[in-house]
């Protein structure tokens, strides 16, 4: 299976996990997904009063410089770990 096919499968699997991951893990999943699909974060950092958007942006920004293929592999590995 190609990396993209594994990524697509992991994406589907992430919607059917036995348990909902904690918020930090959810942020990591989100950030890896965005990095894998769009590359480095773009746009202005949201205001500190917009807690959710700011947390998502910061998590994605922490992956700056990670290649899209590396982000896909990390996403796959994380979802597979969560599946158990």
User: 60-79: per-residue pLDDT in tens?
Assistant: 999 999 999 999 999 999 99
**How far is residue 38 from each of residues 30, 50, 52, 72, 76, measured CA to CA in Å?**
12, 22, 19, 11, 16
User: What is the model's pTM?
Assistant: 0.94
Range 3-83 has CATH code 1.20.80.10 = yes
Separation of alpha carbons 81 and 67, rounded Å: 21
Residue 68: what pLDDT? 98
Residue 12: what pLDDT? 97
Res 84 pLDDT > 90? no
- Read off the pLDDT of residues 9-51 as tens digits, 9 standing for 90 and up: 999 999 999 999 999 999 999 999 999 999 999 999 999 999 9
Nearest to 34 by CA among 2, 82, 66: 66
Q: Where are the domains of the chain?
A: 3-83
């Amino acid at each position: 299976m190609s990396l993209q096919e594994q990524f697509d499968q992991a994406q589907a699997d992430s919607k059917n996990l036995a348990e909902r991951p904690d918020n930090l893990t959810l942020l990591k999943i989100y950030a890896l997904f965005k990095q894998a699909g769009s590359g480095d974060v773009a746009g202005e950092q949201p205001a500190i009063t917009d807690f959710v958007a700011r947390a998502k942006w910061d998590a994605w920004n922490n992956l700056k410089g990670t290649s899209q293929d590396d982000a896909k592999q990390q996403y796959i590995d994380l979802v597979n770990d969560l599946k158990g």
